[in-house]
Amino acid sequence: MSTLLTIEASPRQASTSRKLTAHFLDCWKATNPGSTVVVRDLTKTPPPFVDVAWIGGAYTPRDQHSPENAAAIRVSDELVAELKAADHIVIGTPMFNFSIPAVLKAYIDQIVRVGVTVSPNNVGLLTGKKATIILASGGDFSPGSPVEKYNQASGYLRQVLAWIGITDVEIILAGRARAGAAGETAVEQFGTAVRSAAAVTQAIAA
């Protein structure tokens, strides 16, 4: 049985990225009956930023953890466990100032861990997984557009996922998302790409 991990990063409940992620989930469930879906809404349970206690927890043996180290690393352990259990990860996020929201960056900092998701010699350990990124933006950052080069989010997300071993990554650029202030036109505009990504999932799970 396949497991889908859904990561939501938009602070707006009616956003384009959330509408498209919900559409992806519907397609996944239809093509993968009996599958497991785990939803991690980063705006409802924001991951803490890395601090000194977290660093101590990540880089010292567990039997040497202080209570502060143990508490700080517990969230990371939970997020990593979700990631390891997933066959497919879908990330729905807006583009903020050419990059990603701080809450998504905080999540990434929690799950990139030496000896856990990447080896000490920089080999990603989470292999055999697929990721779909639904990236919504007010402008058009598609290939060939005048501002394509300003899209820092796509390259960063692809790079950091590859760093932990997830190299099968599809990015759906949902540009000009302001057309429909509450995401009303999201599925109409970008639904075909989302359905295609979900259909590929079925082949992987089979």
pLDDT at residue number 200: 60
**Residue 14 — very low, low, confident or very high, per pLDDT cuts 50/70/90?**
confident
pLDDT in tens, 49-58: 999 999 999 9
Which two three-digit tokens encode residue 11?
């602070």
- Mean pLDDT along residues 91-118: 97
Separation between Cα atoms, residue 21 and residue 136, nearest integer Å: 11
H helical segments located in 94-149: 102-111
Supply angle C-alpha 162, 53, 100, rounded to 5. Answer: 40
Give the pLDDT confidence of 67-89 residue by residue, as tens digits.
999 999 999 999 999 999 999 99
User: For the segment 136-146, what is each residue's pLDDT rounded down to a tens digit?
Assistant: 998 888 889 89
> 104-125: buried (b, 16+ CB within 10 Å) or exposed (e) per residue?
bbbbbbbbbbeebbbeeeeebe
Tokens of 129: 């997984």
In the chain, % of residues over pLDDT 90 = 74
The pTM assigned to this predicted structure is: 0.90
Rounded CA separation 134/111 (Å)? 19
